[in-house]
Amino acid sequence: MKTHRNLAPARDGSHRPILAWVIRCILLLCGLGSIAYGQASAQVPQAGQPTAIPASRQAKNLAVITVKGPISALTFKSIERRLQLARRAGADAVVIELDTPGGELGAALDITSLLKRSDTPIPNTVAWVHPNAFSAGSVIALACREIVVSEGVNFGDALVIATNRDGSLKNLKEAERQKLTAPLLSDVVDSARLRGYDEYLVQGFVTLGVALWQVENIQTGQRLFVNAKEYELLFGQPPADTRPRVPSAPPGETARKVFSGREERAARKDASKDGTPAQGKPAADAESPAETSPTPDQPSPDGTPSPNTVTGEKKDSQNATNAGGTQTAPPPGPPPEHQLIDPSTAVKPASPAVANVAVDASATQSLAPQRPEFSLADQGKYRLVEYVADGNGPLILKTADMERYGLARQVVRNDAELLAFFGAKNLRRLDPTWSEGLVAFLTNPIVRGVLIVIFLISLFLEMSHPGVTLPGLVAGVSLVALLAPPLIIGMANWWEVAAIASGILLIALEIFVIPGFGITGILGVLLLFAGLIGTFVPSGSDSLFPDSPQARSELLYGVATVAMAVATSMVGCYFLAKHFGSLPVIGKLVLRSSPANEVDEGLFAAIAPGDGDVRVGQVGIAITPLRPSGKMQAGDKIIDVVAQMGFIAPGAKVRVVVVTEFRIEVEAVEGNA
């Protein structure tokens, strides 16, 4: 008889250890999950909770340097002064608060150099775009260690343009544009490498023709910007013609609209002028308003260098012929000035349209690029994020774009959020001083022209009526107001001050000591005017060479301003010479020995047509001081004369020594008491 095993579950509780073991495993897994979730929650703070502040950013005392309005050489001097003040006051970090339409290229590069150099007063610098940083403002922001933004930001459009003094745009040749753009491109690429930005992106701020796509590494999540050539290399096909995320705008147009009514009237004039390329124009053809029409010496429409262009040089350099009359090819390899460029630090152009400028910009690079070199092996490793820009205009980014593309660390709306960003306890604003505002006023070209008129008229009055004192005092004050501000901001050199002082001295010698009006007086006038004109030309690197567009512009404007001031002062001097005695207050400052109804006409009287009855050797009495001009009495006649040398006191006996159509010169007769 067979026995059968009962396969039914046992009811004696033998299964309970297994069940308990399973429950323990489940509880253990739940516990591990809770720990992992807690750690993740600690690493990713909830909304409204403060994030961990990097040690490099942490600060206790925060100084905010405000930069509002156009950027000039005075802005650089002001920022430099305030940085030193913040360092002495114990600031741990400095915020450059920007709200600017842009400004001078040389001043912007001086500021970025100050912020990036190793011995900068405070290396912990953060740019706060609040709310606009156009042109030079965006270049300065990129030089700071980090960037924060407010809401409604406009950032970018740093294309080089040249303007006239009335605010209108001026044409630039391609060689001139390349010369000006190269240091700017070099600076923003250096900032990108130093601060960790994408150098293709920053090239889009300062040049045209930079079309960009953003891609992401599928494995690492790293995002990069690529151009059309790299796009085709990564995805095996040309990019599709779609709408970019960042729309194109004509260079300078957005800044003019934003600052219209807030800044100078020149900005409103520019906004009404149709000198910018139409939207949608091909990237390589879209020019800055300051550019001329395409020529054989400029890049060809496809963005590649023209066959007649080699790094901005004229085509004549390639058209040299040998003795047989056949055309010779240019020497192989790069020009000598480019042979010293280190390939490991060279600027890689984001577009063929930037190739020539990138070569020049590479000469000053010292940091290696962080971008990878793409190859066919990278196909399938990246995915397309979006089409960013078509290159028809310089890039202008908004708040969301700044965060999206890694330029802005955070949105900061007010001082409280700024303190929280640094973990700081104290915040102090360092605004420009009243004296800096006065310097800005005195360096205004119109004000400087008025000061020149006042100076020349006062100088004339002092030399024609020595001893009055007041005109000399006014001339001295106006000369200080004319020279001190340019010296402070670097628009003048000491040689210009020396030229003006020497000119005044030579003119005084000609009038009071040396007879006649000869080489001494002419040299004095030339030195005086050369010194005055020189104060209009900045002494920075932008005006170092005579072929610099800015140097030519400033020089021509200085000549025009001084010429107009001289013409105006001549009219004023003539009026004063005719009516000096009848003018209130001024006329009472001069002592007169002649009757009240006789007016001393000063130097103008001295050059009036001579009396036909006066002859050389005639003796008379000086009835007024001869300083050097005055009056003498010969018989019953009163004659306008000029002392040939020195001063002659009234009552002294004088002798006529020179008689011309416009001048009668006398000398003191020896033996006068």
419 and 486 assigned to the same domain = no
Owner of token pair 């066959």:
307
Asked whether 666 and 643 are in contact (CB, 8 A), the reply is: yes
β-partners of residue 169 are 163
Mean pLDDT value across the chain: 78
Q: Does residue 15 lie within any of the structural domains?
A: no
Q: Does residue 326 lie within any of the structural domains?
A: no
CATH code at position 120: 3.90.226.10
C-alpha closest to that of 499 among 515, 483, 519, 485: 483
Angstrom distance (rounded) from CA 483 to CA 346 = 43
61 and 153 assigned to the same domain = yes
Mean pLDDT across the stretch 87-91? Answer: 95
573 and 426 assigned to the same domain = no
Q: Cβ-count burial of 7 within 10 angstroms (0-12 exposed, 13-18 middle, 19+ buried)? A: exposed
Q: Are strands 426-430 and 61-68 parallel, antiparallel or unpaired?
A: parallel
Mean pLDDT across the stretch 484-499? Answer: 82
Q: What pLDDT score was predicted for residue 564?
A: 94
Examine the fold and report which residue of 533, 559, 582 is the final residue of a domain before the chain moves on: 582
Looking at 400-527, which runs of residues are DSSP E strands? 410-411, 426-430
Q: Does residue 468 lie within any of the structural domains?
A: yes
Q: Phi and psi dihedrals of 125, rounded to 5?
A: -115, 140
User: Which structural domain, as residue segments, surrounds residue 205?
Assistant: 167-251+275-309+340-394
Has residue 456 got a pLDDT over 70? Answer: yes
413 and 439 assigned to the same domain = no
DSSP string, 338-379: GTT--TTTPPPPSSGGGHHHHHHHHTT--SPP-PPPP-GGGT
Q: Are strands 410-411 and 146-149 parallel, antiparallel or unpaired?
A: parallel
C-alpha closest to that of 136 among 81, 219, 71, 231: 71
291 and 381 assigned to the same domain = yes
**Number of domains, the chain:** 4
Which residue has better confidence, 370 or 147?
147
Has residue 479 got a pLDDT over 60? Answer: yes
The band of 325, judged by pLDDT with boundaries at 50, 70 and 90, is: very low
pLDDT digits (tens, 9 = 90+) for 98-131: 999 999 999 999 999 999 998 888 999 999 999 9
Q: Does residue 514 lie within any of the structural domains?
A: yes
How many Cα neighbours within 13 Å face the side chain of 68? 10
70 and 177 assigned to the same domain = no
What residue type is 248 in one-letter code? Answer: S
232 and 374 assigned to the same domain = yes
522 and 569 assigned to the same domain = yes
pLDDT digits (tens, 9 = 90+) for 197-245: 999 999 999 999 999 999 999 999 999 999 999 999 999 999 998 999 9
188 and 289 assigned to the same domain = yes
455 and 482 assigned to the same domain = yes
Which residue has better confidence, 85 or 307?
85
Q: Does residue 35 lie within any of the structural domains?
A: no
Angstrom distance (rounded) from CA 331 to CA 329 = 6
Angstrom distance (rounded) from CA 136 to CA 73 = 12
Q: What pLDDT score was predicted for residue 587?
A: 56
Q: Are strands 125-134 and 154-156 parallel, antiparallel or unpaired?
A: parallel
- In this prediction the pTM is 0.69
Mean pLDDT across the stretch 351-361? Answer: 92
Examine the fold and report which residue of 548, 564, 582 is the final residue of a domain before the chain moves on: 582
pLDDT digits (tens, 9 = 90+) for 143-175: 999 999 999 999 999 999 887 666 677 778 888
Examine the fold and report which residue of 432, 450, 478 is the final residue of a domain before the chain moves on: 432
Q: Which two tokens stand for residue 205?
A: 């701020």
Return all residues near 612 (Cβ < 8 A) that are at least 6 apart: none
Q: Does residue 23 lie within any of the structural domains?
A: no
660 and 615 assigned to the same domain = yes
Has residue 304 got a pLDDT over 50? Answer: no
475 and 371 assigned to the same domain = no
Q: What pLDDT score was predicted for residue 507?
A: 85
Q: Does residue 443 lie within any of the structural domains?
A: yes
Angstrom distance (rounded) from CA 86 to CA 633 = 71
Q: Does residue 39 lie within any of the structural domains?
A: no
Which residue has better confidence, 451 or 281?
451
Range scoring the smallest mean pLDDT among 1-15, 48-62, 78-92, 553-567: 1-15
Mean pLDDT across the stretch 23-47? Answer: 50
CATH code at position 628: 2.40.50.140
Return all residues near 526 (Cβ < 8 A) that are at least 6 apart: 503
Q: What is the 3-state secondary structure (H, E, C) of 119-185?
A: CCCCCCEEEEEEEEEECHHHHHHHHCCEEEECCCCEEECCCCCEECCCCCEECECHHHHHHHHHHHH
pLDDT digits (tens, 9 = 90+) for 582-624: 666 555 555 454 444 444 444 444 444 455 578 888 999 999 8
Looking at 200-319, which runs of residues are DSSP E strands? 212-217, 223-226
